[in-house]
Amino acid sequence: MRKRIVRISTWYFTLGESGQATTEYALVLLGAAVVALLVVSWATSGGGGGKVGRLFDRIIDEITSRIG
């Protein structure tokens, strides 16, 4: 993973102005994917599993109480 990030950042900094927006978009997506993976790993392996379950239960209970 680290090699991939280094490769992408090296590639990014060697570019000129052409393709800059596309590269920035790709880096933002890469950063979002890393954050999502960290959240998923925390929620599934750490103490987050119970917290996420309780959060979803509260959301579903609130929605059903407003509907019914």
Q: What is the mean pLDDT of each run of 10 residues along the chain (68 residues)?
A: 70 64 89 90 73 85 90
pLDDT for 5 equals: 72
Cα 15 to Cα 12, 47, 48: the distances in Å are 6, 43, 41
At residue 47, the pLDDT reads 67
Cα–Cα distance measured from residue 45 to residue 40, given in angstroms and rounded to the nearest whole number:
8
What's residue 68's pLDDT? 73
CA distance 28 to 23: 9
Distance of alpha carbon 67 from the chain centroid: 31
Whole-model pTM? Answer: 0.46
Provide the token pair at 4: 């991939």
The residue ranges of every structural domain in the chain are 2-67
